[in-house]
Structure 1
């Protein structure tokens, strides 16, 4: 006796029912536990390298620093290109691996790059600092918070940011928190060269005296019968006054540094990175989420903790949320869930109306059961609900009921021919299982190029293939195992049709269909000609359709890039940004304006690449209420720029785009 899975499922009804209940419950559990994300992740195959050589010209940085480093980077196995920017005293390099680099080897390639650059560092000219490698360029700031306080010293605001950072690190799901826009503190020693000449002191003498004094020198230990006592020299600086009191030997006499120089505390000048939130300087805290965490859960936890922190802050200090991926995830997933529910409702409604009440229910039950198993597979393979997976589920919905319809229709027809329902269920396997599986595999194979594309685009959109493949294979299994069981349990008593098989297929509709098929077969050349003409028309029409694999995002942010002539100081760039901010804050569509002067915004959207440091560059991120407001603001801003707003700069208005 040949193996018949449908007959086995009908015969062992208790086991089949157990698996139906088990899979339904497990699917509901998986649905609740599956992570939610706005977009699928993909491996960013890029790292950045920064090298500093104070006092060097741009040409010296290119010839003596950038070129040797570029040659070593080119030794990487999966090397694609390196983009280098040199400025006086600085080199910025962006190293990109080939698009078809396997994600599993990217981390090893980054390690090799770091090792090769470290080996080359010893051959660079004396005084070169670096190279400093950032192989965490792909970190996405799940949430951004602006910390600001008018009139408060910056060092105290930074200490407050450190306190908040330590507090937020305890939130489950937080990987790390970056503090952005911090202006490093410095101690300035300012003196007059004529005065030094009068005293007979050179600047080198001052530097040597400061260096000798500001040292930590081991002085040994004393062993006692109790603890071990450590000896230390009292010499390292611990205050500005200690620096001012440094003794300087000049012409056989000793004087204090403060007698001829001003010693004061200050900040890095000029600044290298300025962040402004709604027109005020601020410090930004960027929260990075742990890999595989549920974004909605992290968003709720951060909202609760940040609210408590904001309430406990001293008067005058504000903590404002600038960006929150949880909100975008909720909107994106919610929108797709609504579309998914509508599509599911349409499929079930059509099944019930076209097949009848009981037959329609049997077919309709196959859909949630199939989806439940797919959710289990997604949970086990580490997949999330995002735009791609939900879109693939919507795409597969119309195909999920095909196999169940075939199986139940065969049962109904055989019962109309006089066969009992048990044998009819077994017949569905023996005569339809193989053709159904063949059709399922052909459909899956059609999407195979997307799933196996060795590129960032394939990594981003590959779940279209995998989710549709999972769903169709599971739908075939449901159709040959569970649908026959449900048919045996739920189908009504069907009386045999007089005349048997011939009478069933001799209705007017069947005769019309048979006539159309016979006409197409008899006039085969005309049929083939019509097919060729239609294919040609479709090819021509395809050329006039806009082709875009990754569409523009429906997120509400407007991105404004500001570029001034090369060599422009960061203060001039900040002044230009301030003019644009004033205009933007007057517009009704504007909710939040955040400016990043001196380099690009942090990666708050996975597909967005931050720009490298440049004093002549700034990026303004404007949050609007929705996509309609975004488009209105973009149009008005472009008109204002064309009309003379910030004529000294090149201003580009864009928005976020899906995909890599």
Structure 2
């Protein structure tokens, strides 16, 4: 017994399955994890090491190369990229995508730990950073015009504590908190007289402020913890610290007797954050895996409303990145497209086959989507950008099978076939073409699952959703559609017996019935095509050639630009520039941006890249010659217009390389086109780099070329006269 026969004989079973999948799909739609981008495991980790005061050459020789040599012995390492700059070593490590990432990063940490003793004592790190896959869902700035940094810090801490009480919030990080320092100041004569140097102070304070536990005192009845004063608790304890003995009196000399000890804000800071030109602290929120980001967004906005009412005077909070809003908009566009598809399908079918047939076909569209939603968790697919795009792509294909079945049923009924038999044959006569068409459509997309590494992980939900939805459409067309057709046509005959009688008379007289105008025109077109087939082939070949010609003029990109009301501005000052110089250039750019009416807010990070709020963003680590700005606009159209307009204005800012760029869909890539030049002769490498850049710059489609060597940094070369120094 075929599937359509079973459907007609056991309609209760079919309807029970339909209702079950409808309820299941609806529940899944309400509870499925929603996010903007798919959750991707990143096969890269970074090893960051700070080497204060060292040149790029010293960093490479003493830090970067030893780390690279230690890691090359790990079998799972596929690629190692390094970047050595003044004060900073940045090593990127890639492992096989099929490996256990957590295990591999632990091996990397262990290997770095083994060589730590061979690295310079004054370095900070090395620190292994392996959380590149985390994308910040929301960003909030706490800011105020000339606000006290301490008040901003305290307000940001309170905000973090409130955010962590929201169940869907996984991680909250604070950036841009001003760092304090304890300053010991005095005259040069005093420092020289008591030989109180920076190294002496470091050793003294480290020894006295180690924070080690005092241990236990064992008695007959108890083990008593010894609370020894091993940490400084206030400035007075530092002032009372003995640091030497007076050579004249032999009395101990305390720091406060000779020097001033004060707490102050470090200047300059290692990182500056601003919102619309005001001092700010940035709070970044990452969602827990498996939650709905739109629910998290509503909870955070509600909490911000209450929190804002309790802020001190002059302190404000601004939501500068709201990924949940964009996810809501994407889902809203999908539902709008679904409604439009239903209306178009219903209207076209109503015109060609009648209102009943249009209802039959239209019911299969939402049912196929609900079945797909029910099954998506089993293949670990969330409701995100790629899966929503897959649904939109599939909308036009999900009704094809049902249209074929319904049309063939009408044809059979018009030929006088009994209704039940026509509903069965509507499927069985065309079962292989329907199945073949479905399989062909699936195979057109499913190979995307085979894409390697992060790119495959990013796009994997698209072929899976298309496969599920097209498979559901196929099952609906061979089971549910014939059953509905049988019920609707039988109901129509009972409700409108006169029309049914006229239809039967028309069938008996079909040999004398004149074909319709459309039918006659179509038959003539087919006859002419068969008779003049060379003309048809020439027209087809010309259309194909014309398409190929136009294809090379429209541009090709695997991932297009995102239509977003945000864009990013990168500012790079010359290598060796101070953070104050970079901050000066960032303020110039801020002023230009805030003059634009379409700009709603500007967030500036100087000395460090912005948190990874967009999956295609490359992370930027600590660099005093870097500033990055997130610009929010009124609309995606305004973003496109502003980026085009600002390129010329920003290029006129002297002393910095400034690039305004739209956000790109897809995974993070540093550049669409990159050349790797290797060798030991640096002048020759730079010559080849300039030659390649000149060739690329001549191409009209390339707007920016650069290399990662940077520029020569200024430095004092000290020549020591040892005789005079003694």
CA contact (8 A) 1:37 1:333 kept: no
User: Which of 202, 220, 224 is the equivalent residue of 2:216?
Assistant: 220
Give the equivalent residue in structure 1 for 2:450. 452
Tell me: CA distance 1:500–1:172, structure 2 relative to 1, closer, same or farther (3 Å): farther
List aligned pairs for 1:364-443, cutoff 5 A: 364-443=362-441
The equivalent residue for 1:553 is 562
Structure 2: which 5+ residue stretches go unaligned? 494-499, 668-726
Listed one character per residue, the Cα deviations across residues 22-75 of structure 1 (whole Å, up to 9, x for unaligned) are 222333333333343334443333322111334443322101210121233344
Q: Choose 371-380 or 346-355, whichever is displaced more.
A: 371-380
Query: Judging changes above 3 Å, is the alpha-carbon distance between structure 1 residues 481 and 202 closer, same or farther for their aligned structure 2 residues?
Result: closer
Q: Secondary structure at the match of 1:398?
A: coil
Q: Secondary structure at the match of 1:232?
A: coil
Aligned equivalent of 1:652: 659
Q: Assess, with a 3 A threshold, how the Cα gap between structure 1 residues 260 and 574 changes in structure 2: closer, same or farther.
A: same
C-alpha contact 1:143 1:286 (8 A) present in aligned 2: yes
The equivalent residue for 1:52 is 50
* In 2: Cα distance, 1:557 partner to 1:223 partner: 67
Cα pair 1:598 1:615 within 8 Å, conserved: yes
Does the Cα contact within 8 Å between 2:182 and 2:264 map onto a contact in 1? yes
Contact kept, 8 Å, 2:140 with 2:320, in 1: the verdict is yes
- Separation in 2 of the partners of 1:287 and 1:7? 55
Aligned to 2:722: none
In structure 1, list runs of 5 or more residues that go unmatched.
none
Determine the structure 2 residue equivalent to 1:316: 314
CA contact (8 A) 2:600 2:632 kept: yes
* Partner of residue 614, structure 1: 623
Q: What is the CA deviation profile of residues 181-201 of structure 1, one whole-angstrom value per residue up to 9, with x for unaligned ones?
A: 123332222344532443576
1:490 and 1:221 mapped to 2: Cα distance?
90
Match of 1:467?
465
Distance in 1, Cα, partners of 2:521 & 2:419: 30
Pair 1:73–1:500, CA change in 2 (3 A) = farther
Q: Does 1:229 align with 2:191?
A: no
Q: Distance in 1 between matches of 2:195 and 2:358?
A: 102
Equivalent of residue 142 in structure 1, options 137, 151, 154: 137
Cα distance change on mapping 1:224 and 1:625 into 2, 3 Å: farther
- In the TM superposition, residue 526 of structure 1 has moved relative to its aligned partner by 5.9
Residue 573 of structure 1: aligned partner? 582
Contact between 1:347 and 1:397, CA under 8 Å: does it hold in 2? Answer: no
Q: TM-score, normalised by structure 1?
A: 0.90
Among candidates 235, 239, 246, match of residue 244 of structure 1: 239
Quote the Cα distance in structure 2 between the aligned partners of 1:39 and 1:454: 18
Following superposition, the deviation at residue 224 of structure 1 comes to 6.5
For 1:70 and 1:501, how far apart are their aligned partners in 2? Answer: 85
Please give the alpha-carbon distance, in whole angstroms, between the structure 1 residues aligned to 2:445 and 2:182: 63
* Pairwise CA distance, 1:372: 1.9
In structure 2, what is the equivalent of residue 19 of structure 1? Answer: 17
State the match for 2:283 in structure 1.
Answer: 285
Contact 1:209–1:246 (CA<8 Å) still a contact in 2?
A: no
Using the TM superposition, give the Cα deviation of residue 513 of structure 1 relative to its aligned residue in structure 2, in angstroms: 4.8
Q: Does residue 600 of structure 1 match 2:600?
A: no
Using the alignment, how far apart are the partners of 1:52 and 1:317 within structure 2? 34
What residue in structure 1 maps to residue 699 of structure 2?
A: none
What secondary structure, in the 3-state scheme, does the structure 1 residue paired with 2:452 have? coil
RMSD (Å) for aligned C-alpha atoms: 2.9
**Equivalent-residue separation in structure 1 for 2:43 and 2:486 (angstroms):** 55
Deviates more, 1:89-98 or 1:505-514: 505-514
Q: Cα 1:605–1:250, aligned 2, differ >3 Å: closer, same or farther? A: same
Cα distance in 2, alignment partners of residues 83 and 62 from structure 1: 12
Shift of residue 533, structure 1, vs aligned partner: 4.2
Q: Counterparts of 2:410 and 2:146 in 1: how far apart (Å)?
A: 81
User: Does the CA contact (< 8 Å) of 1:292 and 1:382 recur in 2?
Assistant: no
Instruction: Tell me the CA shift for residue 133 of structure 1.
Output: 0.8
How many angstroms apart in 2 are the aligned matches of 1:638 and 1:451? Answer: 38
